[in-house]
Chains A and B, each alone.
Chain A
Amino acid sequence: MHIEDLNLNDSNLESSWIDELHKYFTTFYKELEETITKILNLQENWDGEGGTRYTKETLYRAAEFVKKLSFVLWRKTQKLISPPNILPGPDGSIDVHWKSTKFDLLVNIPENPNESATFASDDYEKNAVKGTFDQKKINPALFYWLIEFL
């Protein structure tokens, strides 16, 4: 923080916070779109082991999950989670991977929208959590687990 930050009035504070948020979400969404395009461009056997192509629907479901989770975390804590890696997953699914010095979280969004998504996370020590969730909702266990690391 700089000394001039201490002199900001409420409207300045609000506008700088909104600018910060805007910058974060704009960059975040742009990166998501770029990754989606790259994954959609993968051809059959892209991994040399018979890797299949990915559908736009699965990718946008994964992106929606990331956007929704980031937003609800911000709304609850006013803190921003770092963007995850969006990665090809097995059998047409998409992996969403957050890895920091504090925790490692892998979420898998299946190709079938009616199938449950899965997640597994740990703090590199004794604490770990895993489970499943309806792709249309955020799992509360996952949400509260992440709050600990923001």
Chain B
Amino acid sequence: MNWPIEIIPDQDILYRRVHINLLQFSHGFDEIPPYAFKDNNGISTEWNKYTTPEESQQRALEPNKNGVIQIKVGFVKQFKYLSVDHAPIPQNRAHSNINGLKPYKKEDQTDIRKRLARMAEWIIKISLTF
């Protein structure tokens, strides 16, 4: 199914999965590491209009090894060149990308990752069992 592409309002929420492997390195497990906002041809997220945090978690290859964080669209758009683009795929209407991080200067990318990690919060936490 080809879903129509929509504009995502600033007050809406994006979900993003965070793998448990990333949490073993932080001193406090509540902390969201800046790596969570690594740009891999865009930062892949899911729009809360078409999904729930639980559904997002279940779409991971290993759901029990993934937590879910959330961030408000308006927070992302505070950064002048970042955009939040709805990018639905047949099996996931919620799929959306945060685009525009890579063209920033390297030190700005570092700054933005740090700030996005601070603005985000856990919606489904996972416990570390290493």
The interface of chain A, by Cβ under 8 A from chain B, is 35, 38-39, 42, 46-51, 85-90, 95, 97, 99, 104, 106-108, 116, 118-120, 128, 130-132
Contacts and interface: CB of A to CB of B under 8 A. Distances in A.
Contact of B107 (A46, A50, A132): A132
**Contact-size category for B:** 20 to 34
B56 interface: no
Nearest to A132: B107
B61 interface: yes
Interface of B: 17, 19, 21-22, 24-27, 31, 33-35, 38-40, 44, 60-62, 65-66, 106-111, 113-114, 118
18 contacts: A46-B21, A47-B19, A47-B35, A48-B17, A48-B60, A48-B65, A48-B66, A49-B38, A49-B40, A85-B25, A85-B26, A86-B25, A87-B33, A87-B35, A106-B111, A107-B110, A118-B106, A120-B111
Contact of A95 (B34, B111, B118): B34
Contact of B106 (A50, A85, A95, A108): A108
A39 B21 CA distance: 10
A118 B19 contact: no
A50 B111 contact: no
